[in-house]
């Protein structure tokens, strides 16, 4: 007898906020078909979708580990592998035991049909050339399971071709979402109970450039979103230095619902390294920009990314990077050892930096910025701020995030949720402590 019960689907998501959003979009498409439903948290599923990242060799390894574990724990389930690693190396993934379907980024739109068609012993590979992703996939996502903040993707892909990066090969060229679709989605999420929305894209500063007959750009979109009734906080995710202009900084400074937080990748403080990376700014541009932001927006959280040990990075190059970091008003840093990405232009670069030196440089950069982070946190003590509390299970404290991207804990106050005004009382291990005002 054939069962007509819907198949339960669970997701394992790796990588950046874009992948978080993409998982919700794929989940929404599956929910829209009567053959599938979302598995409850912790429930055994019939289909597992692993949404992978491929930003480093380590990201690939994490995805493979998750696939192997799911295969071991749920040998009967269909195993679907999507995301950037799936697009970059579909054959490699198809060779892993138990994989039923490898789904490319342009093929996410057909996830229902592809999962249904993946029946045989041999894995199905549904990976179209990335150039096929010519339009933004508009899915009416109305919730972000397990998240307090809603991520909304407004742009995908990238036209820049930095030499270390594989994202143009996994997500194609830049495509923007129609402004009306973004506004409707944000309005829906806000009325569904999300006080904060995070606007993201691979190259969010390119928003609007590809929209025909349109003068929409990122500041105009953000202004329109700030007009959505009930929105309590709007946050911008990572943005390239060259995309931040006076208009954007002034907008953040002028509306307290626009979170005082910029994440601006520096990658290297040496111009010769930046040039070989194919970055379109110089180290002095970054320094001038972050100084301008700090001068215009008091207590703005400014974070950055750094790649240590790019091919040819000398001691002198790295010292220049440390100098830039020392002078910059940063509140946090994500530093990574350079990891060669198969198919990226830098794969062919010689003069590789040994692994132990890369790791040592990562440690030095992180140590330097962790001192800045402590200084930044100390400057918040005594201030009042609005914190969006997240559900913390089984603890005797509540915790959430300030607009300037600091984790705030309320000791002895379990179970808080939503946006609350607090007074900062001191420092926790990596964030702040506070009391309710």
- Give the binding site for ligand F3S (CB under 6 A): 15-16, 18-19, 53-55, 83-84, 167, 170-171, 202
CB of 105 to ligand F3S, least distance (A): 9
- CB neighbour burial string for 399-421, b if at least 16 within 10 angstroms, e if fewer: bbbbbbbbbbbbbebeebeeebe
CB of 392 to ligand F3S, least distance (A): 26
CB of 25 to ligand F3S, least distance (A): 14
Q: How distant is the alpha carbon of residue 250 from its chain centre?
A: 24
CB of 341 to ligand F3S, least distance (A): 9
Q: What single string gives the DSSP state of each residue in 67-104?
A: HHHHHHH-TTSEEEEEEHHHHH-HHHHHTSTTEEEEE-
Quote the crossing angle between the two packed helices 218-226 and 246-254, to the nearest 10°.
Answer: 10
Query: Which residue's CB is nearer to ligand F3S, number 54 or number 402?
Result: 54
CB of 158 to ligand F3S, least distance (A): 9
Query: Which residue's CB is nearer to ligand F3S, number 130 or number 406?
Result: 130
Query: Which residue's CB is nearer to ligand F3S, number 240 or number 409?
Result: 240
Residue 33, SS3 per DSSP: coil
Query: Which residue's CB is nearer to ligand F3S, number 50 or number 283?
Result: 50
CB of 422 to ligand F3S, least distance (A): 32
CB 68 within 8 Å of CB 96: yes
Query: Which residue's CB is nearer to ligand F3S, number 164 or number 258?
Result: 164
Element (H, E) at 263: strand 261-263
CB of 20 to ligand F3S, least distance (A): 9
Spatial distance between the Cα atoms of 9 and 134, rounded to a whole number of angstroms: 28
Q: How many Cα atoms occupy the beta-carbon half-sphere of 239 within 13 Å? A: 25
What six digits make up the tokens of 200?
């993201």
Query: Which residue's CB is nearer to ligand F3S, number 62 or number 380?
Result: 62
CB of 217 to ligand F3S, least distance (A): 22
Query: Which residue's CB is nearer to ligand F3S, number 83 or number 241?
Result: 83
What six digits make up the tokens of 339?
């990891």
Tell me the Cα Rg of the chain: 22
Query: Which residue's CB is nearer to ligand F3S, number 170 or number 321?
Result: 170
271 CB contacts (<8 Å, ≥6 apart)?
Answer: 282, 283
Strands 332-337, 175-176: pairing is unpaired
Backbone angles phi, psi at 306, to 5 degrees: -140, 135
CB of 204 to ligand F3S, least distance (A): 12
292 CB contacts (<8 Å, ≥6 apart)?
Answer: 249
Query: Which residue's CB is nearer to ligand F3S, number 83 or number 309?
Result: 83
Check residue 343 and give left, alpha or beta (phi > 0: left; psi -120 to 50: alpha). Answer: left
Query: Which residue's CB is nearer to ligand F3S, number 18 or number 77?
Result: 18
CB of 86 to ligand F3S, least distance (A): 10
Q: Is 156 exposed, middle or buried (0-12, 13-18, 19+ CB in 10 A)?
A: buried
């Amino acid at each position: 007898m054939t069962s007509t019960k819907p198949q339960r689907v669970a997701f394992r998501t790796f990588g950046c906020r874009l992948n978080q959003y993409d998982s919700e979009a794929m989940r929404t498409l599956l929910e829209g078909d009567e053959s599938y439903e979302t598995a409850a948290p912790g429930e055994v599923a019939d289909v597992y979708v692993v949404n992978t990242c491929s930003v480093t060799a380590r990201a690939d390894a994490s995805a493979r580990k998750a696939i192997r574990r799911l295969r071991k724990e749920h040998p009967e389930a269909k195993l679907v592998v999507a995301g950037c690693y799936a697009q970059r190396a579909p054959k490699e993934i198809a060779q892993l035991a138990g994989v039923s379907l490898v789904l490319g980024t342009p093929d996410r739109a057909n996830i229902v049909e592809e999962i249904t068609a993946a029946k045989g012993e041999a894995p199905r590979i549904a990976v179209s050339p990335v150039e096929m992703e010519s339009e933004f996939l508009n899915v009416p996502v109305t919730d972000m399971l397990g998240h307090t903040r809603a991520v909304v993707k407004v742009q995908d892909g990238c036209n820049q071709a930095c030499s270390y990066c594989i994202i143009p090969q996994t997500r194609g060229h830049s495509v923007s979402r129609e402004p009306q679709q973004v506004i409707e989605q944000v309005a829906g999420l806000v009325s569904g109970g999300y006080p904060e929305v995070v606007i993201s894209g691979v190259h969010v500063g390119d928003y609007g450039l590809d929209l025909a007959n349109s003068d929409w750009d990122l500041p105009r979109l953000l202004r329109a979103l700030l007009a959505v009734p009930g929105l309590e906080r709007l946050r911008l995710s990572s943005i390239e230095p060259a995309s931040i202009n006076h208009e954007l900084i002034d907008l953040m400074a002028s509306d307290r619902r626009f979170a005082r937080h910029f994440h601006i990748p520096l990658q290297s403080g040496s111009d010769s390294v930046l040039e070989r990376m194919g970055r379109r700014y110089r180290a002095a541009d970054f320094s001038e920009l972050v100084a301008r932001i700090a001068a215009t927006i008091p207590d703005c959280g400014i974070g950055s990314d750094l790649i240590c040990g790019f091919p040819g990075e000398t001691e002198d190059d790295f010292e220049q990077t440390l100098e830039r970091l020392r002078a910059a008003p940063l509140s946090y840093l994500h530093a990574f050892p350079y990891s060669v990405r198969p198919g990226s232009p830098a794969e062919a670069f010689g003069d590789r930096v040994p692994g132990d030196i890369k790791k040592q440089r990562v440690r030095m950069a992180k140590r330097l910025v962790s001192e800045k982070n402590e200084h930044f946190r100390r400057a918040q003590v005594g201030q009042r701020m609005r914190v969006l509390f997240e559900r913390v299970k089984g603890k005797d404290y509540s915790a959430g995030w300030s607009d300037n991207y600091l984790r705030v804990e309320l000791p002895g106050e379990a179970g808080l949720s939503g946006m609350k005004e607090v007074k900062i009382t001191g420092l926790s291990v990596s964030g702040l402590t506070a009391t309710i005002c």
